[in-house]
């Protein structure tokens, strides 16, 4: 499978924020978010093809207990099931970070599903085909429900403006997710913009009983690869 990078860091987002974790970042994505923070896996995918046993050996060499398989869109990779089975056999806790548009059976302890809202559609880009494909694919409620029924999950939304809440509420009702399963995270790759959005987003979380997610890796290291 095509791999952009493998590195050891701390999980910066969601329920397991703060947990030391090895990240396997696959390259290739079926979406084209306008604010994608890993364009080297989507708009201009980079990386080399690596065998699953080679990837697993690189992961276990760090000696960590947690692994995060992320992307890009890791569920696109035909070998994703095989890789996660090897990692499970190695005794690792596995998080998969996905946009929730594709279902394939995998070994997974936390399905971190991040459905993409209308704020992600790249309308302003000249390549109109990317915007229309993104808009057609970004919300797949049947896939979301299936993932939620098969794995422990979190629904993590990237929020750009207060108006996004109405769309989140509609999705939540559509897939019948409890408030406890919802995590809201401010969009942004700069500490100042995350803090600015975070202040009003925290109030939304308080009002609705949703969890607020930091972006700890940005706080600590800024917007860099490999952290
Ligand atoms: S789904 Fe993730 S990797 Fe794909 S374009 Fe959106 S932010 Fe980037």
Question: Residue 124 has what pLDDT?
Answer: 86
Ligand 1 lining (C-beta closer than 6 Å): 29, 31-33, 36, 38, 41-42, 71-73, 99, 116
- C-alpha to C-alpha distance for 57 and 86, rounded to whole angstroms: 10
Point out the ligand 1 atom lying closest to the alpha carbon of residue 30. Answer: 4
Say if residue 192 is exposed, middle or buried (CB neighbours under 10 Å; 0-12, 13-18, 19+).
exposed
Point out the ligand 1 atom lying closest to the alpha carbon of residue 72. Answer: 3
Q: Is 69 helix (H, G, I), strand (E, B) or coil?
A: strand
Point out the ligand 1 atom lying closest to the alpha carbon of residue 99. Answer: 1
**What is the model's pTM?**
0.96
- CA-nearest of 151, 219, 220, 208 to 183 is 208
- C-alpha to C-alpha distance for 220 and 49, rounded to whole angstroms: 30
Question: Residue 103 has what pLDDT?
Answer: 98
Shortest-distance Cα residue to atom 6 of ligand 1? 33
Shortest-distance Cα residue to atom 2 of ligand 1? 72
| CA distances in angstroms from 214 to 85, 151, 185, 203, listed in the order given | 30, 23, 6, 14
Q: Is 5 helix (H, G, I), strand (E, B) or coil?
A: strand
C-alpha 77 to ligand 1 mean position (Å): 14
CB neighbour list of residue 143: distance below 8 Å, 6 or more residues apart: 100, 101, 102, 103
C-alpha 71 to ligand 1 mean position (Å): 7
Which DSSP helix (H) or strand (E) runs through 26? strand 20-26
Shortest-distance Cα residue to atom 3 of ligand 1? 72
Per-residue pLDDT in tens (0 to 9) along the chain, 227 residues:
999 999 999 999 999 999 999 999 999 999 999 999 999 999 999 999 999 999 999 999 999 999 999 999 999 999 999 999 999 999 999 999 999 999 999 999 999 999 999 999 999 887 678 999 999 999 999 999 999 999 999 999 999 999 999 999 999 999 999 999 999 999 999 999 999 999 999 999 999 999 999 999 999 999 999 88
- C-alpha to C-alpha distance for 117 and 123, rounded to whole angstroms: 13
C-alpha 30 to ligand 1 mean position (Å): 8
CB neighbour list of residue 162: distance below 8 Å, 6 or more residues apart: 200, 204
Residue to mutate (ligand 1; options 3, 4, 38; most atoms within 8 A of CB): 38
């Amino acid at each position: 499978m095509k791999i952009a990078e493998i590195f050891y860091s701390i999980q910066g987002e969601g329920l397991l924020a703060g947990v030391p974790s090895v990240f396997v970042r696959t390259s290739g994505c079926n979406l084209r978010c306008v604010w994608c923070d890993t364009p080297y896996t989507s708009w201009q995918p980079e990386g080399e093809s690596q065998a699953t046993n080679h990837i697993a050996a690189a992961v276990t060499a760090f000696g960590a207990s947690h692994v995060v398989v992320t992307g890009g869109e890791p569920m696109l990779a035909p070998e994703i099931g095989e890789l996660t089975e090897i990692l499970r056999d190695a005794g690792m806790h596995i998080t998969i970070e996905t946009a929730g548009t594709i279902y394939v059976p995998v070994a997974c302890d936390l399905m971190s599903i991040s459905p993409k809202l209308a704020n992600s559609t790249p309308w302003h880009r000249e390549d109109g085909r990317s915007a229309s494909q993104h808009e057609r694919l970004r919300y797949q409620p049947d896939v979301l429900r299936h993932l939620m029924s098969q794995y422990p999950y979190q629904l993590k939304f990237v929020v750009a403006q207060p108006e996004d809440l109405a769309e989140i509420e509609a999705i939540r009702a559509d897939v019948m997710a409890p408030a406890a399963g919802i995590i809201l995270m401010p969009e942004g790759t700069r500490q100042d913009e995350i803090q600015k959005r975070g202040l009003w987003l925290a109030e939304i979380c308080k009002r609705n009983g949703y969890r607020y997610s930091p972006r700890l890796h940005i706080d600590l290291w800024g917007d860099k690869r490999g952290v």
